[in-house]
Every structure is written in C-alpha cells, then in structure tokens.
Amino acid sequence: MESKITSFLQPPNDLASQAHAFAIISSKYPSLEQLQKADDLGEVVRAAQLESETKEAQLRESSAACERHIQDALASSRDMLHTAQELSLIRHGIADEQTALAEELVPDATSDKGKGKQTLLQDLEELHERLGELERARTYVRAVERCLVLSESAVQEIRSLGSKPFTPNHLSEYVSLQTFVESVIKACAPAEVGSTTELQLVEFLKSTQHRTWRDIKGVFSAKLLTASEKLHWPMPVDYFSHDPLTRSEFEGAFLDLLRLQEAGGKVHGGELRLKGETAEKDGLYPLQTLVQPIALRFKYHFEGKRETNRLDKPEWYFTNILNVTHEHRSFVENQIQALIHRSSFKDINAMHEFQRLLLPILSRKLRHTIPALLDHPSLLAHTIYQTLLFDGTMRDGGFSLEGTLAVGEADGDAAPVWEGLSEVVLGNKEWFDTWLEAEKKFTDIQYNDIIGSPDAWILVEEDAHAGGNTAIRPTNSARRLKALIERVTERYQPLPQHEHQTRFLMEIQVPVLDSYRSRISSSLDAYETLSSSFVRAVPGALAGQAGNTARLTSGVDGLSRLVKALASTKWMISAMEAWGEDLFFLELWTEMNERQLGVDRESVVDSTMFGDIVAQYTALVDRVEGMIVHQVRTEVETGLKEYLSSEIIVEEPESTPSIAPTLLSPLSVLSTSLAFLARSLPSPMVTPLYRRIASTVGYHITQRVVLHRSRGRFTEQTGKAFAEETKLWLQTSEMGLGGSARRPELPWASLTDSAAIVSIGADSIQRVIRAVFEGDEEAFGNVREELGIRELSRAEMQDALRAREECWR
C-alpha cells in the first residue's frame, strides 16, 4: 500500500506519455498512408483530449481527496502517538507499583532497603501464628482449669469420707480426671509425632494426675500415722496391750490404704505404681507410711549435726536399720502380715516388704556420704566394708526380694536377685575406681614394707603350719606376702559382681605376685654375675656383708641366699596352688572363662586361677635348684682338682685306714652343703637336690679317675683303695643329710659301680674281663649281678676294666 501511495504522488512522465501515445497510434495505423487516409484521427485526438481533461479533473479531485486523507491520517497518527505516550507512562507507573509491592512482600536481601525489614507476608504469617498460639493457649488454659478442678474434686471426695471405710466408688472424681487426661493425651498424640519430648500440657496433666493420687494416698496415710502414733510407733509395739478401739482404728486405716492400692491397680490398668515413680520407693502403701517416721528419726540422727552423724562410723547407721528390723519383726510378721492376708496382696511377705522399704533410707545416705569420702581412702574402704557386712547380715537373716512387690516388676514375674546396698557404691564406676585405686596404693605400700624389711629374707624358725620335716620354712617376706594377698582376697571376696572381683585380682594381686617373682629373679641375676647388685635387689638379705662378693656367692653363705630364694618361691607356689583349689577362686575362674568366647572347656577344667603365675614361679624354682646344684658341684669339683691330679695312696695292710688329704676339702664342702640344705629345706625338696648333686659329682669322678684316665692305671691294691675312698662320699652324704634322704646310695651308682670294677680281686679279674668283653648276655648279666653293678652299661664297664693293668683289650 505504501508503494502505491508513493507512486501515485509522483508527477506525470512526458516521455512515457508520448511513448504510450505513439504505441497506440502505431498499433491502429501501421503505415503513414493509413494515417493519412484515416478520417477519424481528429475524433480520436479530440476524444483523447477530452479523456485527458477528464483525467486531469479526476486528478485534481483525487489530489485534493488524497491531501485531505493525508491530513486526516496525520491528525489520527498524532492522536494515537499521544495516547501511546500516555499508556507508556501508565505502564511504567504500574511496573513501579508492582516492584514496590514485590519488595514489600519479599524484600531483596542484596539491597540496602531490604535488609532487616519485616515483609507484609511475614507480618501476616506472624499475626496468624500469634492468633494460633492464643487459640491454643486458650485451649490449654481451659484444659488446665478443667484438670485442676477435677483434681481438687477428687481429693475433696476422699477428705469428705471422714471415718467411713473406703470403697472404689469414692474414686469417681479421680476416674473422671484420669479419663480427661487420657482424652487430652490422645488428642495431642498427632502433635507429638516426631517429637522427642512430650508437650508441656501433656506433661503438666500427667504430673497433676500423679500429684492428685499422692494427695489421695496422703489423706489415708495421715489417718494411719495418727492411728500408729497411738500404738507408740515407731517404738516397739506391744499390740495387744492397747485397747480394742485403738487397734480397730489402726487396722481400719491400714486396710483403707490396701484397698486404695487395690483400686489404684485397677484404675491404672493393673499397674501398682504410676509411670514416673521410681521403683525404689515402690511398695505397699501402708508399709510405706509406717516407714516414714523411721526415716524421720534416721534423718534426725544421721543426717543432721548430731554427734551420731559421723563419716568414720558408717556401722552406726547400718546397725540402726538392723535394730529397727529386729525390734519390729514380731509385730510385722504377725499383726501386719495378718492384715495383708485380708487383702488381695496375700502373696506379699510383710517382713521382706518392710525391710525392702527401709533400704532406700540407707541408699540415700550412701549417695550423700560417698562423695565426701573420695578424698579419704581409709574411710571410703571402711564404709564399703561395712556396706558389704550389712548386705551379708541381711542375706543371712533370710532377706530376699521374693514375696515383695519387686517381683511384679521383674521380667516374667520372676523374683529378681537383690544386688545389695553395695551396688549403690560399686555400681558407680567413679566411686569403684577410686576405691580400687586406694586399695592398690595401700597394698603396694604394704608390699614395699614387706620387701624392705630388714628381716624380709630370713627363714622363719618355726612355721605355724609346719608338718614335721616335710613343711617348707618360708622367708618372712614370703609368709607376709601370702598373708597380704589373703587379706586383699578377704576385702573383695564379698563383692556381689564377678567383674569387680576380677579387677581386684588382676589389678592388685597378680601385679604384686609378679613383682615378687621379678624381685627374686633379679636377685638371681645379680648372684650369677657375682656383683654387689644382689645387695640392692634383696634389701636386708646381705646386711653388713657387701664387702666380699666372692664370699657372698660361695659356700654356705652363697647357698643360704639361694635357699632363701628357693624357699620363698616354693612357699608362694604352695600358697597359689591352695588358693586355686579354693571354692571362691574356682567359681571366679569358671565365671571368667565362661565370658570368653572359644575357650576349651577341658583346658578350663585342667587349669586354675593362678596356673600361669604358678608356671612362672615353677620355672624360677627350676632355675634356683639348678644354681644350687651347680654351686655345690662346682665347689666340690674345684676341691677335687688336687685329688684328681695325684696318685691313689695304698695303705699298708695292717695300718689304720685314713682319708687322703686331697679328699678332705671336697668332702668337707659336700658335707657342709648337704647339712645346710637338710637343715633349711624339707626332705621332699632336699632329696632331688642331693641326687642331682651326687650324680653329677659321682659322674665327674668316674669320668676323670676311671674312664678317661690312662689305661692300666689301677692295680688290685689301688682299686681297693679307690673303692674305700668311694665309700667316704656315701658316708659323708649320709652324715650331711642326717637321714633326710631315702636310699642315699642311688645317685652314687656310677661311682660305686666303677669302684667295684677296678677293685676286683686278681683271682676273678680275667673271668670278669672275658664275660664283659666276650660273654653272652647271660654271662654278662651274671657278672653284673655278682659285682652289684646298677648303672654302668657294657661299654662303660669295658672302659672301667681297661683301667686295670690286667686288661689287655
């Protein structure tokens, strides 16, 4: 359209018009002749002129109309532009208003204006929440008001009874209260979903219900207390010395409380106590009431400022409760038990229930007292010991939880085991650890005193448990250590929990026993290195003798130290073996192994509590015995050096037999050593030591004098002289032992066999040589029997025969 308007506004084109006219004429008059002959040319020209004039008139009209239309369009365009500008301004205003409203609803956190500004939406939400809170508060207040009104009505209903007996119908207002509380709890249940705590309203309603029940119980308790005071309770009651009216009043008040408890069990769904009450305070309502005056008297005497409230006298308040149970036993077991049998609580043992309700008095006292004793180990230990004594006395008196309301609280209605008041202390890890640490320090101090005593390593002259010459004479340290371990056992044996007993054993007794073994072992190390460190390892054992270490580790002095170590070790082994067979340690050992997974039962049966420690001590015994044998053997062999390097002296036939001077020293060493061992050790210990010493010495002499000496050294006379010298070893041994060893000749068999061979007479030597070297087993056996050979083999007999000059083989 725009292009057409533009073309119409263009001025006429003369050339185009002429070309158009020429084209029309050319088409109509193809030649000049036709043009000249045409008669209608003028008419055509005039028609064209007329048409041209018409067109021009139309043009003028059209131009005028076009101008008018253009002006109209311009005017319309200006109006529309003005309208568009106004609309644009309106749009921008609306956009600004929209932005402002958006900022009012949700402010831009990045802008300065939006920071800290409360939005309209937030204001609306806050107002809505406040409205909801006010609505809930109004509902809560109404619920609280209703609950308090019902609570007061329930208590008032009971108070209005006066002297009338109680029946379950008198709990109607309380039942209404409970129904109301349950309905509110049910209504609030959806609000509690996902919450870890109860709504405050629910908590308040429950506490109000509980308080109401306590107030109801308090009304009847006050009546019972009034009636019991007329019986002079809590003094010992002589029931039948009071008039029937007083007794009837007491019985009525007692039975009212029992009926209330029965009704409470039904109202509360069979539970005899409401949720939130501690089991420690649970019990028969009338007995709870009767315990109250006793608790007040106890508090007056043992929780105030009276002289009877002393931290160092826990036995006073334990004795007080024991006396109460003793004084009222007859009244409780007869009159009270008879009243209980008239209720639905026929299975309740009145005395057990009464005793159980007295225990919280003591447990509260212990909880208040123990924190003040933690810095006083001796008082803490004394208090715990008295607590254990109290528990033992109660159990010995027949007390248990059977026949009490505690039975109904246990799983499966089985009577739970009473852990004792000691569990109040021992069940607290901090308190138990403090006590254990104090006991450990005390035991360590006593152990160090035992080890550091000047007479620690002196053998006891006479033991109280001596059994003739078979008993071990321990050192003072070993005997005192045994007594110390047994005292520690007495301290923890009454503990009710095996894990507590195990900790005493493993943290106190075992370390002490291991320390004692280590002390003896270190003394042996010092002994072996011939250093004066033995004096420091065993204080008091070498007092005044530190100047000559050679003398300290040789002769009787050296044996004395080894014997003390041996006696101490054997004594402790005997003690530990006896402890391991004790019933207490057997039960503890069984309990410890049952708690370990994968323990072989056969290994448990074959072992004992102290089996591992006994094995370590036994290894130490083997070491000490080896050192004793080694010392005596070495000293004897040292004394034999001159004898072994000299020739055997042959006495004249008529001369009196005498001991070779070179034998005096080793024989004296052997005699002195054996005599000391026989005096210091029991026969069962001396015999194996003697046999080991004698066999090694005899073997040494046999090897050096007979078997490994040059051939043909012995003649008949020197052989007989050697045989006589051999008898001296046996005689010396018998004199030294003093009869403390059976068959003392056995360990000398190799030596006496060799002496018998080299001392064969000349008339028999060749026959013996043939039988030993060439004879069959029968001939060889006959010769052995003839000569009395007990130990030497055929090869060794052949070597011994080669020592005779007559043997050519």
pLDDT in tens, 218-269: 999 999 999 999 999 999 999 999 999 999 999 999 999 999 999 888 888 7
As averages over each run of 10 residues, the pLDDT of the chain (809 residues) reads 65 75 76 68 76 82 84 88 88 83 64 60 78 80 87 88 83 88 81 56 87 92 92 91 92 92 82 49 87 94 88 93 94 93 91 94 94 92 94 92 76 69 92 94 94 91 53 90 94 90 92 95 86 44 49 80 92 93 89 69 66 93 92 89 73 54 87 89 89 90 78 82 88 82 83 87 85 86 86 86 82
The alpha-helical segments, DSSP class H, found in 269-376 are 285-302, 314-327, 329-331, 337-341, 350-373
Tally of helices (H runs) and strands (E runs) in the chain: 34, 0
- What was the pLDDT predicted at 705? 83
Residues 6+ apart with CB under 8 A from 310: 316
CA-to-CA separations, 796 to 705, 751, 760, in angstroms, rounded: 13, 12, 16
CB neighbours of 149 closer than 8 A, spacing ≥ 6? Answer: none
CA distance 136 to 132: 6
Distances (CA, A) of 643 to 25, 659, 722, 725: 182, 11, 12, 11
pLDDT digits (tens, 9 = 90+) for 598-633: 455 555 555 788 889 999 999 999 999 999 999 899
* Residues 154/177, Cβ–Cβ less than 8 Å: yes
**Whole-number Å distance between alpha carbons of 228 and 238:** 12
Q: Give the Cβ contact number of residue 591 at 10 Å.
A: 13
CA distances from 264 to 216, 273, 408, 757 (A): 11, 8, 15, 106
Show Cβ contacts of residue 277 under 8 Å, excluding neighbours closer than 6 positions.
210
Question: How far is residue 369's CA from residue 363's CA, in Å, rounded to a whole number?
Answer: 10
In 3-state terms, what secondary structure has residue 803? coil
SS3 at position 447: helix
Give the DSSP H or E segment for 128.
helix 120-159
* 227: amino acid identity, one letter: A
Q: What is the pLDDT of residue 450?
A: 94
pLDDT at 410: 47
Structure-derived torsion over alpha carbons of residues 734, 738, 739, 741, reported in degrees to the nearest 10: -70
DSSP state of 400: -
Buried-exposed string 750-778: b where 16+ CB fall within 10 A, e elsewhere: bbbbbbbbbbbeeeebeebbebbbebeee
Cα 336 to Cα 333: distance, rounded to the nearest angstrom: 6
Amino acid at 269: G
Q: Are 783 and 738 in contact (CB under 8 A)?
A: no
User: Inter-axis angle of helices 777-787 and 762-773, to 10 degrees?
Assistant: 140
Structure tokens at 233: 């309770």
User: Residue 809: which of 794, 791, 790 has the closest Cα?
Assistant: 794
DSSP calls for 564-612:
HHHHHHHHHHHHHHHHHTSHHHHHHHHHHHHTSTT--HHHHHH--TTHH
Query: Are the beta carbons of 213 and 274 closer than 8 angstroms?
Result: yes
> Of the candidates 610, 725, 615, 626, which has an alpha carbon nearest to the alpha carbon of residue 667?
725
**Phi-psi domain of 388 (left: phi exceeds 0; alpha: psi -120 through 50; beta: other):** alpha
3-class SS of residue 300: helix
- Give the DSSP H/E element, type plus range, for residue 634: helix 611-639
CA distance 373 to 743: 64
- In DSSP terms, 459 is beta-bridged to 475
Radius of gyration of the chain, Cα coordinates, nearest whole angstrom: 61
Say which amino acid occupies 172.
Answer: S
pTM over 0.75: no
Alpha helix ranges (H) inside 406-554:
406-409, 422-426, 429-452, 476-492, 498-504, 510-528, 533-537, 549-552
Distances (CA, A) of 596 to 590, 593, 600: 10, 5, 10
**Of 740, 731, 732, 806, whose CA–CA distance to 773 is shortest?**
806
